[in-house]
Amino acid sequence: MNASTLPLAQQRCRPLSGSPLSSMAQQAMLTQVQGWALDPGVPGGVLHKTFTFPDFHRTMAFVNAVAWVAHEQDHHPDLTVSFNRCTLRWATHSVGGLSLNDFICAARVDALSA
């Protein structure tokens, strides 16, 4: 089985350069991650999702788990954290927008609660 046929959560990020995914490719990839959305106002695209939790402790546990995923994949999101909420925003700086790496990380974050 090659990497392109593996589920996103089982793929690994790799260094990328070039251009961001096309709008059509972004929409196709979006169908593979649940509850994530594209920010149409950002050139090249941004993938984002807000997670809510019952308390600060669980929010911070989630943030730490996301940090582990980001470190392991060497691909890091922008995070906005509050008492019971965390918003993740993924984009790939080296391509100026969205890449496969962003969708891999989104799927891996979703797998944290599976």
Q: pLDDT, tens digit, for every residue of 44-91? A: 999 999 999 999 999 999 999 999 999 999 999 999 999 999 999 999
pLDDT at 1: 46
Complete edge-to-edge strand list for the sheet that includes strand 85-90: 37-38, 47-52, 85-90, 78-82
- For 78, the 3-state DSSP assignment is strand
Residue 98 lies in a domain: yes
Flag whether 20 is in a domain: no
CATH number at residue 107: 3.30.1360.20
Question: Mind listing the pLDDT tens digit for each residue in 65-74?
Answer: 999 999 999 9
**Separation CA 22–CA 73 (nearest Å):** 23
Please indicate, yes or no, if residue 111 is contained in any of the structural domains: yes
* Number of Cα atoms under 13 Å in the Cβ half of residue 100: 16
The answer as to whether 23 is a domain residue is no
User: What is the structure's pLDDT at 5?
Assistant: 77
Q: Which domain holds residue 102?
A: 45-114
Determine, yes or no, domain membership for 62.
yes
Of all residues in the chain, the percent with pLDDT exceeding 90 is 89
Per-residue pLDDT at 113: 77
